[in-house]
Structure 1
Amino acid sequence: MGRLVLCVLALLVGGGISDPVKKLQRTVDQTVLDRQYKLLTLFFHPHEPIHIKEQQEIAASWDLEKNIGLYENATAVHLTIQMLHNNYQVPRGVPFTVLESVHRFEISVYYSLLYSAKTYDTFYKTAVFLRQHVNENLFVNVLSVVILHRSDTQDIRIPPIYDVFPSYFHNGEIMTTAQRITTHGQRMLEHYPSTYVWENNVVIRHNETAWPYYCNTESMPVSYFTHDVTLNALYYNIKLAYPIWLRSDACAIKEKRGELFFFWNKQLLARYYMERLSVGLGEIPELGLNEVEEGYVSGLLYHNGIPYPVRPNHLVLNHQTWHAEAIEEIEVYENRIRDMIDQGFYITNTGEHVSINSPDSIDVLGRLIEANVDSPNVQYYKDFISIWKKVLGNSLVHESVAFNGIPLVVPSVLEQYQTALRDPAYYMIMKRVLKLFNLWHEHLPHYTTKELSVPSVKIEKVEVDKLLTYFEYTNFNVTNHLHLNEIECNNVINTKSVLVQRTRLNHKVFTVRVNVKSGVAKHVTVRFFLAPKYDSVGNEIPLNVNTQNFLLIDIFNYELKEGDNLITRVSSDNLLVTDEIDSASVLFNKVDSALQGHGQYMLNMKQNILKTPRHLLLPKGRVGGMPFVLMVYISEYHAPNDVHRGTVETSTIDNTIRLTSDTLGFPVDRPLFPWMLTGVENIFLQDVQIYHKPTTEVTGVPVYVE
């Protein structure tokens, strides 16, 4: 679980910041290599039975009852045995979602089983056993969660979810074309639209914003962001680190998960708003209780061929009885949160009244609103967000279908973490949710000049390189979705690859230079925030309103010397974002090569599945330039509270966000007014422009390379 906390403080050296590359790479021993290799194979074509002979033997012979002494949690063993014996489990080949309570119970049991294995060998054999006997989507989810949290798998990397289950990220037309290519080979490529051969791989071109079957909804121009494969994978990964069903005392979670819930969604909403402004869209629509104007057609298909539910335009929320009942529930549960905020206390499940009027209460407020299992009263402050997802996803049905007591559901994109960000309704829900947090913030006092200031530190000037964004092409491998032929089954290998070429937003590397005068040598924290300067109708956004739009784009610690300082920050050194995550095939080849004695396998700590992809650091901007405000803020360094840190140094989550003990997003976690900044010389607001240019103009690389 140590990877779920922070370790970057070691990067600091006197007078500046050390080179992060050397610090963030290291080799692993043979044991880790063997484990990485074998665990990777469990993600290989999970829709099919196990093909590796050793694993087939383990799956057939492993006896949970005879080996019950090898687990700390005997109850989980008994429950698993009973569920498998009575076939009380989500069947293989059907959709799975943790937002369905029975599905969630099953995954929590399997987590307890795997996590409580006393040795790695027991854990591995149990994982192989489950791989063969449980729903493939559930299995991949629970195995990934356990790998993130077990102490003996901290150096194990899980393959990207878009490589394991490509159909969550590419529409039905793409996946159907891929299946036809698998069947017919390359002999009929000329009959398939937008396909070509590259290095013996078949590549399917896809332009997300131009696909005609999305019904040309208002938000489609921003689908380059909402449909970004790695962004949607990020949301899924965050929910692996902090599942709503996993208690902190059932693993080693130390982080303030409620505060993270607030901060991550505030960041996401601010970024989405910038993208809307970049393409000329209006404000994020308000979500009411009567009608949702914008529909959504995902074009996605589940692996068994069932399409995702569709939300039509102008969906009337109380048209059907079961919709109206759901809306009533939402209203009741939201009002309980509002009443709690207005009264200044929440009620525990034992009836105790606990104050939420201190700034630290942001964490418990986040847990209450998300309604995760760490909520102090999940029975009273219920999960209205998931109800919103069912209503707006249009997946509510009058009568549910069950198999042996297990609900068979067809979740909408909103109900799958790996697809939720595609739907503009997600951002409408979160805008409504963040208003609850804003209501709570209004009850807090404003930051004082003393809290904001750093004595003797003055930012004199900020210079920023020209900010350029562009679209680039990248390939995703969808082969894991396709069925193996007999030769591939016997050799447990893909003999061919089908790739999907998609566009994604990227930016040119830039540098920020900050001239600072300091009266004394001082250890400080430097933050860069970005916000739009004007709203959708061209009005300059007041600072106190724009506070909620400020996006944290960089944070680092620094040693100021006495006198003049020049802080030079190159965007490629930004540790708030992640380098490109190794694909499943790249990861497998690296590990296999090291096992064969061909070089070393290096753990690259600049790859972090719980950070924003580097290519999404900047919003798109506009061809002629789009005005933004860059806020540079230098604060006193406050060491992070070890209570909220793990014990293993190789971290994955939050290892540059939580550099200090300050609240996440400080100082724009509360409204800032211009009068509050009078005499505060360690804050500097700099106007910048973001330009969007054609790819060839920025990189010199042609649009298509065949």
Structure 2
Amino acid sequence: MCAMLPRPLEMFLWLFFLGNVISAPDDDFFGIIQEGELALSDDKYIKYIVPGYLSQNSAKHLNLDLKDLVSEGNEHYKILQEHIESGHAMKGLTFNLYDDNMRETAITLFRLLKNVTDDNVPLIKDWATKNINKDIVDYALRLLSLYKDVDYDFKNNPPFISKPNYFVNSETINKALKLKISNGKFEEREGFINQYSREENIVTLKSNNSGWNFEDLCQQRLNYFREDIGLNSYYYGIHLMYPFWMSNDELSDLDPRFAENYYFIHKQLLARLNLEYEHEQYPSYSPIEKCLDNFLPYLVHDNGVSFPARLKHNIGGSYYRIKKIDIAIKECLDRGFIYMGGGVNISLTENNYVDLIAKLIRSNYEKPPVAKYVKNFYGYGANYPTTRYNSAPSVLHHPETTLRDPIYWSLIENMLNYFSEFSKKLEPYKLAEYETEEFEIVDNSFSKMTTFFNFYKFKLNNIFGVDDSKSLIFAARKERLNYLPFTLNFTVSSLVNKTGHVRLFLGPQCEETECWKQYHRFFELDIFPYTFSEGMNYVSWSSETSSRYSFDDYYNLESRQPRVNRYDMFKFPANLMIPRGLEQGLKFTLFVMVTPQSDVSDTFEPFGFPFHRPAIVNENSPFLNYKFYNVSVFHKVSRHI
């Protein structure tokens, strides 16, 4: 039986209750509130009142162990635990992919994440962040992003943002650390001398490329290109797509054309570098061979130890081991077939030689034991470390720093020579088979192509261990090669209503017949489909709308205009789309080709077609569906673009 309380007593009890609630500690207050109908939406407290609720942040609040998320019988769990107990995943260690234990730890974490449910991925990520070396975690998660469609905060975070000390000179990093201690405060004269300034909550440090303080033409030669933060981040992406430790069979299951693409990517890199050399045709520089003797990286590891200098090599055991592999591959190419074991031989033909040679190179040079001493030999030279655990790996031991060293470009060239030497044994393909009267390029209109150097400013805050840029931003300001937007327009006469492919290449200045002999020096600007209608078609290509490139202007603090994030570390950096020109103009050759799309779904041209290998060209051909154009690239000296 219920009875009404007297009105004054009811009021007294209510006030008494309210007073206790207000004076209660925070946790008790929320506990009382959650018992009634005033439930708050705070994620911290929802988990206590909703049965089975476990938010993505729960691992931060609940002390979850890995065994709470993964079965202890899981093979990857067991291996990972062994590495953790052995100290291979300790925080503070310098991550080195060529250290067998650290690499296996990262691979195991990646495979563990790859095989759990998507719901458990963020929980394991939180656990790993607390318990495992941060670079191992970052590597495993970046790799995972290629296999799982799960949204991560870091997914589009460029490597030069997450680990800026691998992209910025060590003196800039040291200055930033000192300024951090003083909370960004300094005297005006000090800032002038040390080249840093402050505007509101941004401390900006001007940063140079390596070799800036020496008159060393080898060190400075094209370092703006080799050390570009976008290019080196892109090469890290290439490594993630085709890790040296992943077998050919596993990669083939993921992408049947991976080997051909792997070759084509490196062919593109070297072609683009060679185009950059074109603007050096007037000054006199040291021969490139002399530039391979020594290299000073100007970088520093997280532990404060500088990247080791590479000194001139001593011919020794490692050299002869590498040379032995080189001789064996060349003998294989000379005999024209690959021995697969069990009495099975596969002949090298024009249809399979790129695929097979690329796999042959990977299985010999890039299997972990061999890759390790190749990187050691070329990365350190005579400056070889003497301890088992190396706290300062060379630039060649990190994919995001590898392209900084000129010697690596020489290694790329040596690798590509296997393909070009074998292609000489083949009959040149007949270009006439790809000529057609269905499409005719009848006119063109190109806007001016201009390069310049502009300032790019990006955050350094991750060097402090955590990104605390909400209060004070520390940023490096570097000069980078860039270009003014340009368009390439063509008028194509079509006899059919059909989809075709438009190919654009940029190469050195050459005559039409001579250009085919320099096929390996043409850089593919783009290839895209176009639906042609019978009659005249106006085809327009813009450097700003191409989906082939990665645009990193979103992270440039120099510009404060609203921007859309179009960054993609797996695409070539847009700022290096065209090579540096000259004030008076530097001549290049632009090639355009239109071919019909095949009606057979599994029929495709080789990557880099039609400059994939030597061709027989009929000089009397009318050249209807392809054209060579003489173009000039200008360079604007003024930095105020």
TM band (smaller chain): 0.7 to 0.9
CA contact (8 A) 1:62 1:125 kept: no
Q: Which amino acid aligns with 1:346?
A: I
Structure 1 residues 195 and 260: alpha-carbon distance in aligned structure 2, compared to 1, 3 A threshold:
same
CA contact (8 A) 2:350 2:426 kept: yes
Q: What are the within-5 Å matches in structure 2 for residues 146-545 of structure 1? A: 146-153=144-151, 157-190=155-188, 191-192=190-191, 193-208=194-209, 211-212=212-213, 216-218=216-218, 220-247=220-247, 249=250, 253-254=254-255, 256-280=257-281, 293-312=292-311, 315-318=312-315, 324-348=316-340, 352-371=344-363, 378=364, 387-394=373-380, 400-402=386-388, 407-408=389-390, 410-483=392-465, 494-533=470-509, 542-545=514-517
Whole-angstrom distance in 1 between the partners of 2:481 and 2:378: 28
- Could you tell me how far 1:159 is from its partner in structure 2? 1.3
Structure 1 residues 582 and 466: alpha-carbon distance in aligned structure 2, compared to 1, 3 A threshold:
closer
Whole-angstrom distance in 1 between the partners of 2:384 and 2:450: 50
Q: Which amino acid aligns with 1:437?
A: F
Structure 1 residues 105 and 503: alpha-carbon distance in aligned structure 2, compared to 1, 3 A threshold:
same
Selected match of 1:630 from 590, 613, 619 = 590
| Aligned equivalent of 2:35 | none
Selected match of 1:559 from 525, 531, 536 = 531
| Aligned equivalent of 1:374 | none
Are residues 1:576 and 2:562 paired?
Answer: no
Q: Which SS does the other structure have where 2:481 is aligned? A: strand
Q: Work out the number of aligned pairs and report it.
A: 579
Q: Which amino acid aligns with 1:222?
A: L
- Could you tell me how far 1:154 is from its partner in structure 2? 8.9
CA contact (8 A) 2:507 2:588 kept: yes
- Could you tell me how far 1:550 is from its partner in structure 2? 0.3
| Aligned equivalent of 1:688 | 631
Whole-angstrom distance in 1 between the partners of 2:620 and 2:176: 57
Q: Which SS does the other structure have where 2:453 is aligned? A: strand
| Aligned equivalent of 1:653 | none
Counting aligned pairs with the same residue, the percent is: 22
Per mean C-alpha deviation after superposition, the further-off stretch among 552-561 and 160-169 is: 552-561
Structure 1 residues 465 and 608: alpha-carbon distance in aligned structure 2, compared to 1, 3 A threshold:
same
Selected match of 1:62 from 61, 65, 69 = 65
- Show CA shifts across 1:130-162 (max 9, x none): 222222222211111112212445998341111
| Aligned equivalent of 2:29 | none
Q: Which ranges in structure 2 are unaligned for 5 or more consecutive residues?
A: 1-42, 44-55
Structure 1 residues 483 and 558: alpha-carbon distance in aligned structure 2, compared to 1, 3 A threshold:
closer
- Show CA shifts across 1:381-411 (max 9, x none): 8886664432232167767423xxxx43532
Higher RCO (CA 8 Å, separation ≥ 6 residues): 1
CA contact (8 A) 1:334 1:384 kept: no
Q: Which amino acid aligns with 2:139?
A: N
Structure 1 residues 397 and 549: alpha-carbon distance in aligned structure 2, compared to 1, 3 A threshold:
same
Per mean C-alpha deviation after superposition, the further-off stretch among 618-627 and 253-262 is: 253-262
CA contact (8 A) 2:93 2:133 kept: yes
CA contact (8 A) 1:369 1:381 kept: no
TM-score calculated relative to the size of structure 2: 0.82
- Could you tell me how far 1:359 is from its partner in structure 2? 2.0
- Show CA shifts across 1:473-522 (max 9, x none): 111100111256xxx9xxx7742110011111111111212222222233
| Aligned equivalent of 1:76 | 76
Whole-angstrom distance in 2 between the partners of 1:95 and 1:180: 22
Which structure is larger by alpha-carbon Rg, 1 or 2? Answer: 2
Q: Which amino acid aligns with 1:565?
A: N
Q: Which ranges in structure 1 are unaligned for 5 or more consecutive residues?
A: 1-33, 35-51, 319-323, 372-377, 591-601, 643-659, 702-706
CA contact (8 A) 1:217 1:295 kept: no
Whole-angstrom distance in 2 between the partners of 1:678 and 1:336: 42
CA contact (8 A) 2:453 2:480 kept: yes
Structure 1 residues 283 and 74: alpha-carbon distance in aligned structure 2, compared to 1, 3 A threshold:
farther
- Could you tell me how far 1:53 is from its partner in structure 2? 8.4
Whole-angstrom distance in 1 between the partners of 2:552 and 2:151: 22
Are residues 1:130 and 2:128 paired?
Answer: yes
CA contact (8 A) 2:313 2:382 kept: no
| Aligned equivalent of 2:606 | 663
Whole-angstrom distance in 2 between the partners of 1:105 and 1:338: 32
Whole-angstrom distance in 1 between the partners of 2:620 and 2:130: 61
Whole-angstrom distance in 1 between the partners of 2:201 and 2:441: 55
- Could you tell me how far 1:666 is from its partner in structure 2? 0.5
Structure 1 residues 385 and 528: alpha-carbon distance in aligned structure 2, compared to 1, 3 A threshold:
farther
Q: Which SS does the other structure have where 2:380 is aligned? A: coil
| Aligned equivalent of 1:104 | 103
Q: Which amino acid aligns with 1:85?
A: E
Whole-angstrom distance in 1 between the partners of 2:600 and 2:254: 16
- Could you tell me how far 1:676 is from its partner in structure 2? 6.4
Structure 1 residues 382 and 677: alpha-carbon distance in aligned structure 2, compared to 1, 3 A threshold:
farther
Whole-angstrom distance in 1 between the partners of 2:211 and 2:74: 54
Structure 1 residues 446 and 676: alpha-carbon distance in aligned structure 2, compared to 1, 3 A threshold:
farther
Q: Which amino acid aligns with 2:336?
A: G
CA contact (8 A) 1:159 1:583 kept: no
- Could you tell me how far 1:580 is from its partner in structure 2? 2.4
| Aligned equivalent of 1:27 | none
Whole-angstrom distance in 2 between the partners of 1:235 and 1:175: 23
- Could you tell me how far 1:209 is from its partner in structure 2? 6.9
- Show CA shifts across 1:204-228 (max 9, x none): 1123277215x62425141111111
Structure 1 residues 111 and 523: alpha-carbon distance in aligned structure 2, compared to 1, 3 A threshold:
same
| Aligned equivalent of 1:13 | none
Whole-angstrom distance in 2 between the partners of 1:477 and 1:166: 8
